[in-house]
Each structure stands twice: as C-alpha cells, then as structure tokens.
Structure 1
Amino acid sequence: MIQEIEYKQVGQFEKTKFEKIHNEIFPDSSTASKLVAHEIATLIKQKQEEGKPCVLGLATGSSPIKVYEELVSLHRSGELSFSNVVTFNLDEYYPMDTGHQQSYYHFMHQHLFDHIDINPENINIPDGTVPLEEMDQYCIDYEMKIKKYGGLDFQLLGIGRTGHIGFNEPGSHPNSGTRIITLDHITRTDASSDFNGLENVPKKAVTMGISTIMKSRRVLLLAWGHKKATVVKQTIEGEITSNIPASFLQEHKNTTIILDSEAASELTRIKTPWLVDQCIWKEQLKFKAVTWLSQELNKPVLKLTDKDYNDNGMSGLLAVEGSSYDLNIKIFNKLQHTITGWPGGKPNADDTNRPERALPAKKRVLIFSPHPDDDVISMGGTFLRLIDQGHDVHVAYQTSGNIAVTDDEALKFSEVANSVHPGKEGDTFKKVIAFLKSKNQGDIDIPEVRLIKGLIRRMESLGATRYFGLDDDKVHFLDLPFYETGRIRKNPLGEKDVALTADIIEKIKPHQIYAAGDLADPHGTHKVCLDAIFEAVNNLKSKSFMNDCWVWLYRGAWQEWDVSEIEMAVPLSPHEVSKKTNAILYHQSQKDRVMFQGEDSREFWLRARERNRNTAILYDKLGLADYEAIEAFKRYIF
C-alpha cells in the first residue's frame, strides 16, 4: 500500500470519501525528506530566475532535520544558493535565551543557517527574550514584516500529538495571528526529554497563528512515526475542529501531508483498505482483515459469520474464499501456528508449521539491545527461555545509555567511590563530584561524568544477565560512537557503528539475531541501532554462516506489533513474568525516575507487564488459549 516514491505539487485536491487533504506516503522519512528538500530548492531557483526573494516559513523539531541536511548538502555541492532567501520561523519557547541549547534559534543555526550562504538579516525567528509587556507589539511587527515581503511562498510544518501546527495548541482560532500562548501538557511532556525533565520545559511559547499559516501559497506538513498516526488520521479524515488545529489545513488549497509508513498506519486506506475500494486479497491482507474484524466485533475468529464479513465491506473476500467457515479455520490455524514455547525451535519435532526451525537443536543466539535494559524489558521472558532451553545465548548492548542516568545518581556513586578511596584533587571521582555540584541546566556532561554514568548502566546490565544465569563472557558492550555526544540529540549513524555491529555478528555467527524493531522511542536511538544492524547484516549476507541466520524483531516499551504482523508469540508463565520483572528492576537507575518516558509516566516494569498481558488477552479474545503473558516477534527477511 506504499505510494510511489515521488509526488507532485497540487492545486485544488479532489476530496475523497475519507481523506480531505492530499497526502503522500513513503517507505521512510529519509526518502521523503530529500524530495521535500528538492521541492524547496526548485522554488528557490525559480525565484532567483525571476529576480525575486523566496520567502520560506520554517519549522523546528525532529521532523524537518533531514530536510535541512539535504538542503545543506545541495548548497555544499554548489547546486543551491540561499542568497535570495528570507525565512520566518514558526515559533520559539518563552522565555528562552538564544544561547540556550534547546532554543529554536540554536536549533536553526545548528541544522541550517550556519552551513549556508543566507544573509543573516534575512533570518527571522520569534524572540523569546522580549519583555512580556512588549510582546503584543512585537507579534504585530512580526506579522507586518511577513506582509512586507508579500507573504510566505512556502510553509514547512510538523505536527504535534495534540494536533498543533507551530505552537497553535487545541482551541486555537482560525483567525489567530502571531501571539504568545500557553503550551499543552502533552506538548511539554513530549519535549521533556530534551530539557532533562518536565519541570524544565517552558510553559509558554511565541507562535505564528493559524491565519498566518493558511495564507502561505504552499504548505507541506511532515509526520514521521507511529506516535503521529492517530493525530494524522484525525487531521486528514476528521472534521475541521479547533481541537485538532492541523485540521484547518483541509481548507488550504495547496497543502500536501508527507508521511512515512508508520505515521500513515491509521489511515483508512492503509489500516482497512477494503472499506475504501476493491482489494487484491493476498494472504497477508486476508490475515489482517480477519483479525481486525474479530477485534472490531469482539468475537473469536471461529465465530465470525458470513453476515459479519458482508456488513463490514468484506464480501469480496468471501467471494474469493467461498465461506466464512473455511476462512475462519484457515486464519485460526495461522494464528495458532505463531504460538510456540520454543523460541529457539523445538528439537526432534516437525517444524513445518512452527515459527522456528528444529535444527540445529542448540542455536547460537545474539540479542541486540539498543539501551542497557531493552533486552529484559522487551523480551526478558524469551531471553530466559532461550537460556533455560540450552541455547548459546549472547547479548550485545549497543549504546552505553549514559544520557539516561540522572546527575543525582552519578553523584551518589561518585561520592561513595571517593569516600572508599579518596584521591588527589583532579582525580576522576573528585572531578565528577565538582562538575555535578556546579553543573547548570544545558551543560554537556564532561567525559568523566559520561564514563561514570555508563558504568552504572553497565553494572546494572550485568546484574540482570547474571540473575538469568548468563556468564559474563556472553555479555558484550559495543558503546556505539553515534550515541556518545553527551546530548539528547545524537550523531548520524557512522561507518564505525556499522563495523562494530558487523564484528560482533561475525564473531558469534548466530543462528538467531533478536533486534529492537521499535521505532517509536522518544529520542530515536532504537532507529539508529536498528539501521546499524540492517546495514551490518546486508554487508555480511554473502558470508556462508548468514545462510543459517534468522533475524527476529521485538518491540520496545512504547508499542506492540499489530496481531496481523506477529509471526512468533512466546507465552510466559507467571513464574517467568516474575523473573522478567525482577531482571528489569536490576536497572535501578531507571526505576524511580524514567528520564525518557514519552507519554507514559509508568515505570518500565509496569509497562512491560501490562503490554505482555494485553497481548495474551488479545490472543484469548481471538479464540486462542488464555496465557498469563505473551512476548511477540516479527521476522525480518534480508
């Protein structure tokens, strides 16, 4: 259902039964971002030929970063000049100094302005330092300056989970102009990881208004990832409402929403395409449709009737299959065959309908964990089962995870260590103690602090793996370089990251690789770590040992696979759930204060337990056995 990897600018979009804004779907954000950058570049060049300024409205946040990277690349290659470009940014936190690491002034210079030939006088970013009593006049002046240039030729947007564009939160009026607003709690929560805690996120912001955005001659809205899927559906298919400010774009005559496959996953034509048009009923789509219908009607698969199918747009499926009875049995059997108590394969058993191979009976297993706790949080029960069933299990922690350790935790350990072995002035622990006691918000940790924080997480990992009975020589710490910036925002994936990942795979020569396929983590580390694995696997696939290697993807703390995607479901007993919980609790630095919790404030052990229980309940409602908990996996074919 992915669209062709190209899109066209549109004038008036012909509205459909469900979708009211033109949108294009791409396999990934990188491909989409490059095409967006090239549209902007084409507009800039067109304006240059006409001898006119090109007036761009620009956004911040994670969504446009790759767009800016491509624009910088085009400039460095000599293909694009920004000499005629005038920019107006959408928003800025308030109060916010331009020198603050989280200011949008800093963001724009870091990602774009410092790397191109734009005239500094042509850069306009809302000022977060204007005294409150002068703010009304400042906002009027900002609007007048946009009008002086003839309005915005192009507006780039992201979208927040509240449906905000710019910082126009729910309740914003369609006639609103540039103004100061109060941020929604969800918006502040989503930003909390960047500010090292919700308490540090400003409560107000200065933003362009809905009216200003709607006057742009061209609007592109970017949305990436599973977390944006619900609000994207509401924006594109829902009613126009101030509760979803982005929905006002339905009335704009030249808007395109650019999506990756995960952000588009809730759209009707993607989630339930049989409700939109006639389908080609391939086996995977049949599986998706029947499991959806079972959940929608809250009926076990084997109890679905011809009428259920006909009433829900699936008469074409019955025409292909003949009857609901035969179809139900086929789908039930497929579901049943995903369930296995033998994630490494059951020895001396017919594996025709099992998720994993019976041979070799003892497999070499390599579990990749992006952070030092994802292994036990996401697949702790399966991890334990693989060890108990005699497989040669290894775990590779891809990053140090130091950024997720609080200063208080690092200070506590450093003071204990310094008390046991008092060193000279300038020694590591004294240096760490002195730095942490004088550290200001926004300061980047010195290398010694990052070392201590990384060691805290390393020792917690060893505690958990020893509890499972894994020898220390089976535990590997890769410390991938992309992560080691000391900041929330990491470096792009590099050759060294891929090489380290490939080295451990070649050393172990695994029959199974487990990797985090969860792309919804709040700070993007899982995505980079998964890309490192995919690239390493691709580089190694010509090696003979890779012919016997299967890759299984697990999901992390933020979401689970849709049941139609699950290819291996591993039931857990109450005892295994308890042991998994205990292993998670070895990660004490992450227990009482989850620094990067996303929208869920619960501790990881609670999230993991509920998610695994909910998967078991889902299988039960579909008509399968009632298990205590289930961990789910999807196979990646390389």
Structure 2
Amino acid sequence: MQTEPIKYREAGKFEETRFEKIHNVIFESSQDASIIVAQEIATLIKEKSAANKPCVLGLATGSSPIKVYEELVRMHKEEGLSFANVVSFNLDEYYPMDKNNIQSYYYFMHEHLFNHVDILPENVNVPNGTVSPEDLHQYCIDYENKITELGGLDFQLLGIGRTGHVGFNEPGSHFNSRTRSIILDHITRADAAPSFLGIDNVPRKAITMGVGTVRSAKRIVLLGWGLNKASILKETIEGEITGQVPATYLQEHDNTTFVLDQGAAAELTRVKTPWLVASCKWTEELELRAVVWLSQLTGKPFLKLTDKDYNDNGMSDLLVEEGSAYDLNIKMFNKMQKTITGWPGGKPNADDSNRPERANPERKRVIIFSPHPDDDVISMGGTFDRLVQQGHDVHIAYQTSGNIAVSDEEALKFAEIAKTFNADAKEPQAIIDYLNDKTGNEIDSLEVRKLKALIRRSESLGATRYFGLDDDHVHFLDLPFYETGTIKKNNLGQDDIAIVCELIDTIKPHQIYAAGDLADPHGTHKVCLDAIFIALKALKSNSYMDDCWVWLYRGAWHEWESYEIEMAVPMSPDQVLRKRHAIFYHQSQKDGVMFQGDDNREFWVRVEDRNRLTAKKYNDLGLADYAAIEAFKRYHF
C-alpha cells in the first residue's frame, strides 16, 4: 500500500521538478522533520496492531534517526503507543563487534529506543557482530530469510553516508545484493572516527542488509540532515543510477521519500538555482545569488556580464525587471563591495551607511564564542587580532573544555612531566598508570579529563596572550552538556543556557561572534550555537540587547557562499602569518588530530586555503585582490 505523502507536503517544502528523480520534502529543521517521520511510523504500528498483524520495521543507526526515536519513545510514554506487535531488523553492525561495546549498533538501539518501549526482546534483530567467521555466511542467509518469512519489511528507515551508502552498502554494491559482510570505505570509516576516538579504532568490516533487501521494503523513508550531506543527496536525487552511489537505486522504488533539512537540500537545483526550474519572484538576495552564480559559470567578473550571458542561462526575466545587464551588474558589484571592511568593530568617525558595522560606539564590548578551545583562532583569528588591535573590549568565551580531542599520548606526556617535578605526587602517577592500562573503549577517568582540559586551557591562553588579550577577558564556560567523557553528549540543559546568559548579561556586548558551522561532524557547534540563540531570546527584552549585533563565522569544514557573506574582513600576508602562529599554540590539535574528518590537511593549512579561496572568489567577481578573507553573516534575533 502506497503511503500518502500529503502530510509531508503540508509540513515541509515539496515541489516536483524535472531535475528530481526521488520524491523529497524539505523542512526548516531536522527536529520538525523527525516528528513527522515518527508520526508515520506510529500510524503504521497502530494500523498493523488493529489488524492483528506484526509491524516489521527496518531501522537505522547514526545521528540521523535519533530524534525520530526520541519522539517514538515520547509517544510510548505519554500517548500509550505500544511496540508489542513490532518486529525490528537493524540495517547493519560493525564486524567484529561485541553487543555490549558502546560503539555497537546493538548498544545504540537499546540506548535510544528498545530500553524505553515495550518491544519484545525476541522481536529485536540486530546483526550479530560476534558470529564466527566460519558461520558468518550462513548467518547472513538466515537473517535474510527471517525477514522474508515475516513477509518483508513494512517500513525501512534510512540515513545516507557521504559515499552514497545506505546501510553499509558501499560504492560497488549491486542493486539486488542481500544481507552479507562487507569491507568499509575509507570515507565511511573517517566519518565514524570521532565516535571511536580515531580512525585506527574503527572496524574495517561490517554486516549489512543488501540493497535488494532495502528495496524490497514496502515503504522507505531516508533522512538527510546537514550541509555535509548536501552534495551526495543532490547526486542521489538528481543523478543517474549507478553502483558507485548505491542510494541512487532508490530511484526505482515507487514508495520512497527523502526527508531533508535545509542544509541537506542546499545543493538541489530547486534550492540552489531555482531560476533554472521555474520563474522566480526576484528578491535582492536571490538576485545576488543568481548573479554570483552566473559570474562563476561564465568565468566573468560582474561588470563584464552581458545581456546575452543572462539570456543564454535562463535569466532573461531578471533582466526584464532590472532593465539591463549594465544596471544590474553595477548594483550587485556595489552590494558585494560594501561587505568588505578592515574595521570589523566599525570604523570610528566614518560614514557607516555603506559599511557592514556601525561606527558607534567607537569602542565596542565584544564576545567571541568559541565552541572548542581553538575555533576562535582557526575560524576568525585575523578578525580577533584586528578587534584587539583596534581597541575594542574583547572577551573570548570557550564554551566547552575540548578534553575528548586530546589524545592519550599527549596527556601521558604532560602527566610524566608533572611527575618529574614531584616524584612523590600521587595524582600524576595515578594518571600515568590509568593511561598505560586503559582499554580502547574505556571512558576517561575524571582526573584524566581534567588534565586534558587543562592542556587545552593552557594552549588557548597562549594564543589569546599572543593577540594581546588579558587573561581576565578569557572565559572557560565548560558547559555541562559536553562533560560526558565520550563523543555522545547530553542534551542541552538549563544549566548550559544559564551559563551563557550570565556571561552575556555581565558583559552586555555590542557584538557577539558565534560559530554558525553546522557541518561540524561531531555536532558540538550546533549545540553551542543553540545555547547562544536560546540565551539571546531569553535576554532580548533587556535594553542593552537593542545595541547587540550577532555575527556568525564558520569553522574549518565549510565557508559561507559568496552571496551569503555580509562582512568580509581582508587579511594581509603578515596577518595570515599571525593567525597561523596563534593556531600553532594549540599543539595538541596538530600532527594527527583525532577529529580530522576525511581531509588530511592540518587545520591551519585547511583554513588558510579556505581564506585564500574566499579572497580569490571576491577577486574573480571583479573586486579587490586580497591575500585572504574571513567571512561573516549577520544573525537577526
């Protein structure tokens, strides 16, 4: 039975286009989307129960379905949703993997769903990561047969990996493949590395349902959240069917919906270049995006674009509104030119009508929020340096301790140094003994976590002192949500928000800088940004907030698109070197950093390349040629 997607159309942004080959709906947030998906699953469970039939669910792990499971648990506890008729089959499991290991998908599913609902233990099926190699082939056949004996999957929930894998069906998987063992792609292992505290700890094999198993489900819903999934989702939804992107096989399934948030949908044609899909209502923001796109497409600066360029690329209706390419080009050139400033705190005694920041007050109180103890210098080190040099009252707020990003080897080195100064000291020796005996998945002791936090504090103070900032202007917030000792964090709580509120209320800033990089692979940036947004909302009625502007920077993973930038702070070659020097104070995050992602460049190299590329994009549009540019977008609250 085909599930009617009308509720998705009503709740999200739905639009059929000639480019798209899979039904997809875009939501404002993953939270809103997850609730709708959970409601569909709950409805199916109830329908099957009323018919006295089992509800056979295919379930996924990873960060994408967590909010769906939270909502299902809430419905069970508050609305009486019963899972007594549910039989679940999980997509995959690492191999080898003990089910009690905190990284196992068996552990994940019980932690997020099974331990909190009334599903019968005998109805829970997660691939067994401890089956012997000799029995593995037959085990996979039996797992497949059990699904078939129940009449197949009624509903399959999916995420998608950046290789285009569903389950652990990596590139090269066949469209009719069934449950089997598989070798994991390097990118998949790199994405999992944060959870395992390093890629070397990630298993190289897995057991997975096959593409054919997934495609046999009566209903499929795939969840896609965040900018880091945008590229592969465009390829999956708009590209050709290929085994190199296994998710494209879902184009041939007639009851599949991709449920996306705005970040994940960012590369879809109807989102990124809507003028290629249908006639547009041209806003000034959309005009800038279109002209930047046309400039990049043609390789021409703004002022050299012609009427023919617009007409040949589906933008003639824009010219009808604006009159001519000449007028439109100048308008967009001036708009981009006004984003550039060497005075991020505002230029004193200057006409600020065409500048991104106000001239007054001349000396501003500034808070730079940094999710981790190095995001400030990595993401906006040049701007940070300039704000201090130009006499503003700058405060740095490190929102988390960053302790999990310090390797055991680094901590051991400092403990051994401490031991040499006091051979009789018990605490350094206890840390040394603990680290020498530590097993791979063991959570750090409180003493080790304190040491790792101190390492990152000392590095941060080295960088801030280098920029000339007094220590009393450096605030280590140590938000409680982070202090679990593992990659998995607690939910944002009132204690976290109260800490952020107190700092803002004490300083009463004219400027706040915050990390708006939601492509951060371990999610801390988003939680830290949510804490700031909630605090701003709570404090909004205070009179000093009328003069507070919020600027969002991005981290080492992505940069704002040229048309999104509202303040561009150029850096000279000497300033680039000063920024690099400040980053180097964070020695524990150099040379094999634990959360590298799939980019092997060190963070300082990565960010210099990014700042250089931003400057080049400005120059290619016909603007001044700078060595590097840091970019910001204003948040209106």
TM range (shorter): over 0.9
What corresponds to 1:160 in structure 2? 161
Counterpart residue number, 1:549: 548
Equivalent pair of 2:402/2:456 in contact (CA under 8 Å): yes
Q: Distance in 2 between matches of 1:140 and 1:16?
A: 40
1:570-592 alpha-carbon deviations (Å, 9 max, x no partner): 00011111000000000000011
Residue by residue over 1:539-592, the C-alpha shift from the partner in whole angstroms, topping out at 9 and shown as x without a partner, is: 000000000000000000001000111000000011111000000000000011
Conservation of the 8 A alpha-carbon contact between 2:459 and 2:585: yes
Deviation at 1:422, TM superposition (A): 2.7
Structure 2 spans left out of the alignment, 5+ residues:
none
Check 1:16–1:337 CA distance in 2 against 1; reply closer, same or farther (3 A cut): closer
CA distance in 1, matches of 2:176, 2:612: 47
Q: Measure the CA separation in 1 of the matches of 2:137 and 2:9.
A: 39
Contact 1:15 1:21 in 2 (8 A): no
Are 1:575 and 2:574 an aligned pair? yes
**8 Å contact from structure 1 (residues 56, 86) kept in 2:** yes
Residue 16 of structure 1, CA deviation: 3.8
- Counterpart of 1:121? 122
Question: Does 1:440 pair with 2:439?
Answer: yes
Superposition CA RMSD, Å: 1.4
1:20 counterpart residue number: 21
Deviations along 1:480-535, one digit per CA (max 9) or x if unpaired, are 00000000111111111111011100011000000000011110000000000000
Secondary structure at the aligned position of 1:167 is classed as coil
Residues of 1 paired with 2:347 and 2:498: CA distance?
Answer: 33
Go from structure 1 to structure 2 and tell me whether the alpha carbon gap of 1:359 and 1:14 turns closer, same or farther (over 3 Å shift). Answer: closer
Give 1:307's aligned residue. 308
Give the Cα–Cα distance (whole angstroms) in 1 for the partners of residues 470 and 243 of structure 2.
Answer: 57
Structure 1 partner of 2:636: 637
Please tell me whether the aligned partners of residues 155 and 217 of structure 2 are also in contact (alpha carbons under 8 angstroms).
yes
In structure 2, the partner of 1:87 is 88
Amino acid of the structure 2 residue aligned with 1:590:
Q
Q: Structure 1 runs of 4+ off > 4 angstroms? A: none
Cα distance in 1 for partners of 2:247, 2:424 equals 58
Question: What residue number does 2:383 align with?
Answer: 382
Q: 2:617: which partner in 1?
A: 618
Q: CA offsets per residue over residues 426-455 of structure 1, 9 Å max, x none?
A: x32222111111000000001110000000
Q: Which residue of 1 aligns with 2:519?
A: 520
Q: Which residue of 2 aligns with 1:539?
A: 538
Q: Distance in 1 between matches of 2:567 and 2:330?
A: 19
Superposed counterparts of 1:313-462, under 5 Å: 313-423=314-424, 427-462=426-461
1:484 and 2:483 aligned: yes
Give the superposition deviation at 1:6: 4.8
Q: Distance in 1 between matches of 2:147 and 2:310?
A: 54
C-alpha displacement at 1:154, in angstroms? 0.2
1:77 is paired with a residue whose SS is: helix
Secondary structure of the equivalent of 2:497? Answer: helix
Separation in 1, partners of 2:30, 2:598: 22
> Quick one: distance in 2 between partners of 1:143 and 1:463?
57
Q: Shift in Å at residue 139 of structure 1? A: 0.9
State whether residues 229 and 266 of structure 1, in contact with CA within 8 Å, keep that contact through their aligned partners in structure 2: yes
1:5, 1:26 within 8 Å by CA — same for their partners in 2?
A: no
Match of residue 144 from structure 2 = 143
Matched-pair contact (CA < 8 Å) for 2:512–2:550 = yes
The Cα offsets for residues 605-629 of structure 1, whole Å up to 9 and x where unpaired, read as: 1111111011001100000000010
Residues 384/190 of structure 1: CA separation in 2 closer, same or farther (3 Å cut)? same
SS at 2:396's partner residue? strand
Conserved in 2, the CA contact under 8 Å of 1:400 and 1:457? yes
Amino acid at match of 1:428: E
- Where 2:369 maps in the other structure, the secondary structure is strand
For 2:268 and 2:597, locate their aligned partners in 1 and report how far apart those are by CA, in whole Å: 23
Contact 1:21/1:249 (8 A) holds in 2: yes
TM-score, L = length of structure 1:
0.97
Shift of 1:116: 0.8
Tell whether the 8 Å contact from 2:378 to 2:583 is kept in structure 1 after alignment: yes
| 3-state DSSP of counterpart to 1:435 | helix
Gap change, CA 1:440 and 1:220, over 3 Å in 2: same
Q: Is 1:193 matched with 2:194?
A: yes
Q: Which amino acid aligns with 2:537?
A: N
Which residue identity is paired with 2:594?
M
Alignment partners' CA distance in 2, 1:405 and 1:331 = 46
Give the letter aligned to residue 278 of structure 1: S
Q: Secondary structure at the match of 2:157?
A: strand
Contact 2:265–2:271, Cα closer than 8 Å, also in 1: yes
> Aligned ranges for residues 95-114 of structure 1 at < 5 Å?
95-114=96-115
- Report whether the alignment pairs 1:594 with 2:593: yes
Matching of residue 169 in structure 1 with residue 170 in structure 2: yes
8 Å CA contact 1:619–1:625 kept in 2: the answer is yes
Would you say the 8 A contact 2:17–2:277 is kept in 1? Answer: no
280-289 or 193-202, which deviates more:
193-202
CA positional deviation for 1:599 = 1.6
Q: Give the partner amino acid of 1:545.
A: Y
- Deviation per CA, 1:117-161: give whole Å up to 9, x if none: 110000001111111121111111111100111110000000000
The one-letter code of the counterpart of 2:560 is W
| TM-score normalised by L of structure 2 | 0.98
Distance 1:144 1:162 in 2: 28
**Cα distance in 1, alignment partners of residues 619 and 262 from structure 2:** 29
Question: In 2, Cα distance between the equivalents of 1:296 and 1:304?
Answer: 11
What letter is aligned with 1:552? Answer: W
Taking the aligned partners of 1:377 and 1:342, their CA distance within structure 2 comes to: 19
Are the aligned partners of 1:522 and 1:597 in contact in 2 as well (CA < 8 Å)? no
Displacement of 1:188 in angstroms is 0.9
CA distance in structure 2 between the partners assigned to 1:570 and 1:599 by the alignment: 28
Aligned length: 631
Query: Percent identity over the alignment?
Result: 69
Match of 1:342, as an amino acid?
W
Partner Cα separation in structure 1 for residue 79 and residue 453 of structure 2: 42
Letter in 2 for 1:488: I
Tell me how far 1:8 sits from its aligned partner: 5.4
**Conserved? CA contact 1:300–1:622, under 8 Å:** yes
Change in Cα spacing, 1:156 to 1:611, as seen in structure 2 (3 Å) is same
Shift of 1:15: 6.7
Partner deviation per Cα, 1:361-383 (whole Å, 9 max, x = no partner): 00000000000000000000000
Determine the C-alpha separation between the residues in 2 that align with 1:107 and 1:496. 26
Aligned amino acid, residue 436 of structure 1: L
**Equivalence for 1:219:** 220
Shift of 1:14: 10
1:78 deviation in Å?
3.7
Is the deviation greater in 578-587 or in 96-105? Answer: 96-105
Q: Name the structure 1 match of 2:232.
A: 231
Cα distance per residue 1:255-302 (max 9 Å; x no partner): 000101010000000000000000000110001000111111111011
Query: Structure 2 counterpart of 1:353, which letter?
Result: N
Q: Contact between 1:366 and 1:393, CA under 8 Å: does it hold in 2?
A: yes
Which is further off, 624-633 or 35-44?
35-44
Counterpart Cα distance in 2 of 1:436 and 1:5? 55
Tell me how far 1:194 sits from its aligned partner: 1.2
* 2:411 maps to amino acid: A
